[in-house]
Amino acid sequence: MTEQVLREMIEGVRSGALSRRGFVRRVAAMGLTAPMATQLLALTGAAPAAAQGLPAYGPTRRGGGGALKILYWQAATLLNPHFSVGTTNQDACRVFYEPLAGWTQDATLHPILAAEIPSLDNGGLSPDGRSVTWKLKRGVRWHDGAPVTADDLVFTWEYARNPAVAATTSGSYREVNLVKLDDHTVRLDFAQPTAFWADAFVGSFGLVMPRHIFGAFNGANARDAPGNFRPVGTGPYRFVSFTPGDMLRAELNPLYHQENRPHFDTLEIKGGGDAVSAARAVLQTGDYDFAWNLLVEDDILTRLEAVGRGRVEVTPGGSTEFLQLNTTDPNREVDGERSSVATTHPAFSDPAVRQAIAMLMDRASIERFIFGRAGNATVNILNNSRFTSPHAGLPFSIQRANEVLDAAGWVRGRDGIRAKGGTRLKFLFQTSVNAPRQRSQAVIKQAAQRAGIELDLKGVTPSVFFSADVANPDTFSKFYADMQMYANGPSGDPQRYMSQFASWEVATRANSWQGRNIMRWRNAEYDATFRAADVELDPVKRVALFIRLNDLVVGSHHLIPLLSRPGLSGCLNSLRTSRSGWDGTFWMLSDWWREG
C-alpha cells in the first residue's frame, strides 16, 4: 500500500466520495485486517458509523437475570478510578463509574455518557485540531438520584489535574483547558493541534466523578474521601459493599440510563486465589459465571473446557507482556528514595548487557510451552494495529549473547558469573505470582546462566505488586528490583499508552510513584518524536511517528517485549458478554446477559 493511495482514500472518506464500508473493504484488500482498517477511520474526522464491536443484546426488560458471579484472582484494593493502578482496580471502578465514551473491539469510539461521538461532520471537532466539544446524554442520574451535569465534568477535570490530588490519570487532563458551554456541553481546548483528542473523559482514564460526593476532597485530603471505597456513579450497578482485597458486591441500578439494562439483579466480584482455581470454578464446577485473565497453561485450559460447562473467550487487543530493565540503581538510596533518577544502573547502563539480555529471550518456547492461546511472540510494544512496526528485533541466541558480553569486557569469575570493574551481572528479577510468569522466569534464568548472568527470582502477590500503596516497597511502580515483568496495553489509540516512556512521566517519590514511566527511561529523541505525534493531524505521518517511537523504546533494550497478550477469560456457556481488547473488561458491563 502506497502512502499516496492511502491518503487519497482517507480524503475520499472526508469528502463523502468513499463510504466507510468501502474504505475498510479496499484497505483490507491491500493488506491490512478489517479491524486495522477501521481504526484508521478514527483519524479521518468523518462521523463514525454505528459501532461494529458490539454484540447483539437479547433481554427486553431490566433485571430478572439473577446473580452474576465473577472471579478476579487479583483482588481490587480501592474504588476511586483516578487513584487506580493496575487492571483490577480500574475494572472494579468501571462497575460504578462511566466515561463519555469507550473503545469497541474494532478500536472505534462508542458513546456512553456522551450523546454522540464528536466529529468534523457534527461540529464536535475543530478543523484545526485545537478543540473538541462533548455533549452529555440527557437524563443521566447518579446512583443517589442527583442529575449528571457539565459541572461534574468540570470537577473531574479539576480533580484529575490537581497536583495535590496526585491522580494516576493526571496526564490525560493537565494539558487540557475545559470550558463549560451549558449544563450539558463542555469544550476541551488544546494549546496546539492535537490528533489524540479522545483522551480526557474516554476509556478507563476517563471515568466521570460526582462533584457533590468528592467536591470537599479535591486536594491533599483526596485519599481520605469516603467515596474512595463507597462509590456513587452512573454505571449499571450500584454499590452494596466492599472488602478490599476480597469481595465487591453491587446491585441493579434502577436509574440506569440505557433501556432494558442491566440484565442481572446482583453482582459479586470475588478477589484473590489464583488463575487455575478461577478457571476451575467456571469451566469445571460452574460455581461462577466469569473468570478474569486466565494466565493458565493452555493444556490445563483445554482439559477444563472439555468438561462442557464453559468456554475460554479470547479477546484480541494491544496488551504486551514485557521485561523492563531498570535504568536507575534500586540498591542505592538518594534523599530517602531508591531507584532514584539521580542514579544510573551499574550494569544496565552498558548497552552490551542490555543487548545480551534481549538475545536471551526464548519467546518461541515461552509461547509454545507456557502461554499457548494467551500469548504470541513479539518484538514490538505496539501490536495488532496500524501502528505495528516491521522491526525484526534480535534473535534468540545464547552464543551471540556470550560473544557480545565477551567483546564488552564482562569476564566470567570462578563462580561463572561475569563481572567488570567490580560490578557483577547478578540481578533481582521480580514479577507477580502466577504460574506462567514463574515458569517464564525460570526459562529466562536458565538461558541467562549459560551467558554468565545470575538471576535471583522474586514473585510478589498480585494485589501487592499492582497496588497503589505508596508505603509498600514491592509495588511495580516503585521498581525496587533490577528487572521486572508484567503486561499492559493501549486503548484504541497509543498516544496515552506511549507516554509511559516520556521523560516527564518518570515515577518518583515526589509524584507518589504515579508517573507512567516506571523504568525511568529518558531519551531526547523519543520525547521530541512523541511531541511531534501529539500534534500531527495527518494520519499516515502519525502512524510513521508511532512506529518510530516503538523502535526507539524497544531498540534501547531497556524494555524487551515478549508476547502479544490477548485477553483470556472463562465464561459459562450461557453467559453473553460484551468485551473489547482496547478497553477495560467491564467497559460495557451493561450489555452482559444470560441466555436461556
Q: What is the pLDDT along the chain (596 residues), one digit of tens a residue?
A: 455 666 666 666 655 556 655 665 566 555 555 445 555 555 555 444 444 558 899 999 999 999 999 999 888 999 999 998 778 999 999 999 999 999 998 888 999 999 999 998 899 999 999 999 999 999 999 999 999 999 999 999 999 999 999 998 998 999 999 999 999 999 999 999 998 899 999 999 999 999 999 999 999 999 999 999 999 999 999 999 999 989 999 999 999 999 999 999 999 999 988 889 999 999 999 999 999 999 888 889 999 999 999 999 999 999 999 999 999 999 999 998 999 999 999 999 999 999 999 999 999 999 999 999 989 999 999 998 889 999 889 999 999 999 999 999 999 999 999 999 999 999 999 999 988 999 999 999 999 999 999 999 999 998 889 887 778 999 999 999 999 999 998 888 899 899 999 999 999 988 888 788 999 999 999 999 999 998 898 888 999 999 999 999 999 999 999 999 999 999 999 999 999 999 999 999 999 999 98
Q: Which three cell numbers stand for residue 543?
A: 502512524
Q: Could you tell me the three cell numbers for 402?
A: 556470550
Nearest to 140 by CA among 151, 152, 149, 130: 149
Say whether 379 sits in a helix, a strand or coil.
Answer: coil
Q: Which CATH class is domain 320-565?
A: alpha beta
Residue whose C-alpha is closest to residue 468's, from 102, 165, 72: 165
In the chain, domain spans: 1-61, 67-96+235-317+567-596, 100-226, 320-565
**Which string of b and e fits 438-476 if b means at least 16 CB within 10 Å?**
eebbebbbebbeebbbbbeebebebbbbbbbbeeeeebb
Task: Tell the burial category of 555 from Cβ atoms under 10 Å away from its Cβ (0-12, 13-18, 19+).
Answer: middle
Q: pTM to 2 decimals?
A: 0.78
Enumerate residues 6+ apart whose C-beta is below 8 A from 554: 379, 380, 381, 391, 393, 560, 561
Distance in angstroms (rounded) separating the CA atoms of residues 101 and 113: 7
**Displacement of CA 124 from its chain's centroid (Å):** 26
**Fold agreement between 67-96+235-317+567-596 and 100-226:** no
Q: Cβ atoms within 10 A of the Cβ of 7, count?
A: 14
* Domain covering 67-96+235-317+567-596, topology: D-Maltodextrin-Binding Protein; domain 2 (3.40.190)
Dist CA 113 CA 99 (whole Å): 6
CA 94 remoteness from chain centre: 13
The top-level CATH class assigned to 100-226 is alpha beta
Yes or no: say if 160 and 169 are a contact pair by the CB < 8 Å rule. Answer: yes
Q: 398-417 burial by CB neighbour count: b if 16+ within 10 A, else e?
A: bebbbebbbeeebeeeeeeb
Within 13 A of 445's CA, how many CA atoms are on the CB side? 18
